[in-house]
Amino acid sequence: MLKYKHILLYGFSLAMLLFLLKWLQLRFIIIDHAFEIYIGIIAALFTGLGIWLALKLAKPKVEKVIVEKEIYIEKGNGFTRNERALRQLNLSPRELDVLELMAAGLTNQEIAGRLFVSLNTVKTHSMNLFEKMDVARRTQAVAKARELSIIP
């Protein structure tokens, strides 16, 4: 739409110029060197027109400015589990259960009661999770799990 408008304008101004030229031709025909002046005017006018056209029609260069926006995660409010770290540890669901109850301060016997399994099973799970987390004690496991945002 806009481009056609420009082209029409261009054609119109060209026609007007031809009119102007005819008129000038009649007026300055007597003057010597009138032709050169005439050509100069035309050249200047059309150069200006070209410049104007170019400025109007030129595609603007698009420059992407990437603004880095810092977003701080509230650690106190909503706790979001670090799923990446959790996956990297490769804990089984049961082991995670045990870990969470450990973090809550329950004894192995209490954990066994909660999960409806035997004490020995809890011990096995805890052993396996200690190995996976590369720790030796439940308190260490809890501390590390907290660091990794696996538990609140």
69 binds its own copies (CB under 8 A): yes
81 or 137: whose CB is closer to DNA?
137
Q: Which long-range contacts (CB under 8 A, 24 or more apart) does 92-97 make?
A: 92/125, 92/128, 94/125, 95/125, 95/128, 95/129, 95/132, 96/129, 96/150, 97/125
Choose which of 25, 80, 88, 107 interacts with DNA (CB under 7 A). 107
106 binds its own copies (CB under 8 A): yes
Residues that bind its own copies (CB under 8 A): 14, 17-18, 21, 36, 39, 42-55, 58-76, 78, 102-107, 135, 137-144, 146
Residues that bind DNA (CB under 7 A): 90, 92-95, 107-109, 112, 115, 117-121, 123-128, 130, 136-139
